[in-house]
Amino acid sequence: MDLRFTEAQEILRKMARDFLTTECPKTVVRELEKSEKGYSPEIWKKMAELGWMGLVIPENYEGMGYTFQDLTVLLEETGRNILPGPLVSTVISTFPILEAGTEEQKEEFLPKIARGEIIITTALLEAEGTFNASGIAAKATPKGNDFIINGTKLFAEMAHVANYIICVTRTKDMSSPEEGITLFLVDSKTPGIRCEVIPSIAADKLCEVRFENVTVPKKNILGEIDKGWPIVEMTLRKGAIAKCAESIGAIQTCVEMTVAYSKERVQYDRPIGAFQALQHIMADMWTSMQTSRYLVYKAAWMESEGQPCAKEASLAKAYVNETYKNVGKWAIRLHGAIATSYDHDIPLYYRRSKAADTAFGGTDFHRELVAQEIGLI
């Protein structure tokens, strides 16, 4: 296993960093936080021209044909700059189409995603707030050549601007909750869909989506009827690694800003970084950052190589969740009162650490998955 960046990955990283520094500085991030859409269509179009939305889409569907590990490199940079918008939700929602879509579905949707013409998100969570199959209560009932969907989904990222929503439904009650699950590609303009943005600490445009007698044709089923849970597990696994990649970019920025500030802030006639107690705290921040990076890139490498990595993905997500929150907390404490100001960048990262924690499974959820993988459950 070689986790060193290839020349192509170094080029991708530099290109992404330069682009985001120019096109999406923190002033733009703050403006987009307050905007109704939560993203910039102009920046989105430029990202599409760079091939970001189609990074992992095969070339025969107008994508770039890059690996999942390459995607991790890109997302670390978007996390470093806390890029607002539907990039992660769209890219991760591409995988169910890639893995389970029919050839007709791939030809219809993948080129449009790669060109940045459509935005997609996945609606999984419901009122129980669990990422387990037992939490899926939204019903899809057959009616002729269609299905009728009823139910409410919560925390669907950027659903208010999505053109299509991958809705995870229950099509049959079975003895095992993992059975009877079916995924549908739903046009967001279909009558009966109501979407409302949920206020959150990260201002990241998570949405409540209500499906009331929504008619979806059978041809929009992803995968097989009643056998969709493995697709959900795959999406959660890839999504967890992707969100971790964003998080380590943010973690590194918080650490770098804190170390730089500790060299400038003077108390008792010397920089606060000279005090041993604070040195130890920052050393711990740095250590947890490097550990996070290793866990994430190992999981991403295994995913790219097609190796089973459920344990590694959950281990990374559980560890990175806690690291991001702890690093953000100590970054604020070591900066002092200045870091409580809206105009300071550290709070931008800290607020997002709370949202990153729950995306694609919270810490407890992934700890339980690790426990299952090592035979404790």
Residues 333 and 241 in one domain: yes
Range of the domain at 80: 7-119
Q: Does some domain include residue 1?
A: no
CATH number for position 222: 2.40.110.10
**Given 76, 104, 119, which residue is the final one in a domain?**
119
**Given 119, 148, 164, which residue is the final one in a domain?**
119
Residues 165 and 240 in one domain: no
CATH number for position 342: 1.20.140.10
> C-alpha dihedral over 331, 336, 337, 341, to 10 degrees?
-20
Q: Does some domain include residue 158?
A: yes
Say how far apart CA 367 and CA 377 lie, in whole Å. 11
Selection from 313, 307, 255 nearest residue 72 by Cα: 313
CATH number for position 106: 1.10.540.10
pLDDT at 302: 97
Residues 139 and 164 in one domain: yes
Angstrom CA distances, 305 to 69, 91, 238, 373, stand at 9, 19, 13, 20
Residues 115 and 167 in one domain: no
Give Cα 180 to chain centroid, integer Å: 26
Residues 174 and 68 in one domain: no
List pLDDT tens digits, range 140-178: 999 999 999 999 999 999 999 999 999 999 999 988 999
Q: Vertex 139, ends 138 and 142: CA angle to 5°?
A: 155
Say how far apart CA 71 and CA 330 lie, in whole Å. 29
Selection from 250, 203, 300 nearest residue 77 by Cα: 250
In contact, 20 and 84? CB cutoff 8 Å: no
pLDDT at 342: 84
pTM for the whole thing?
0.96
pLDDT at 1: 77
Say how far apart CA 68 and CA 306 lie, in whole Å. 10
The pair of three-digit structure tokens given for residue 305, joined into one six-digit string: 């190589």
Residue 36: what are its φ and ψ, rounded to 5°?
-70, -40
pLDDT at 312: 98
Q: Does some domain include residue 2?
A: no
**Given 208, 227, 246, which residue is the final one in a domain?**
227
In a structure prediction context, what are the per-residue pLDDT tens digits for the chain, which is 377 residues long? 788 899 999 999 999 999 999 999 999 999 999 999 999 999 999 999 999 999 999 999 999 999 999 999 999 999 999 999 999 999 999 999 999 999 999 999 999 999 999 999 999 999 999 999 999 999 999 999 999 999 999 999 999 999 999 999 999 998 899 999 999 999 999 999 999 999 988 899 999 999 999 999 999 999 999 999 999 999 999 999 999 999 999 999 999 999 999 999 999 999 999 999 999 999 999 999 999 999 999 999 999 999 999 999 999 999 999 999 999 999 999 999 999 888 899 999 999 998 999 999 999 999 999 999 999 97
Number of domains in the chain: 3
Helix, strand, coil shares of the chain as percentages rounded to 5? 55, 15, 30
In contact, 285 and 323? CB cutoff 8 Å: no
Residues 360 and 258 in one domain: yes
Residues 249 and 342 in one domain: yes
Q: Is the dihedral of CA 222, 181, 231, 133 positive or negative?
A: positive
Residues 109 and 194 in one domain: no
* Residue burial 191-213, b: 16+ Cβ < 10 Å; e: rest: eebebebeeeebbbbbbbbebee
Say how far apart CA 245 and CA 81 lie, in whole Å. 12
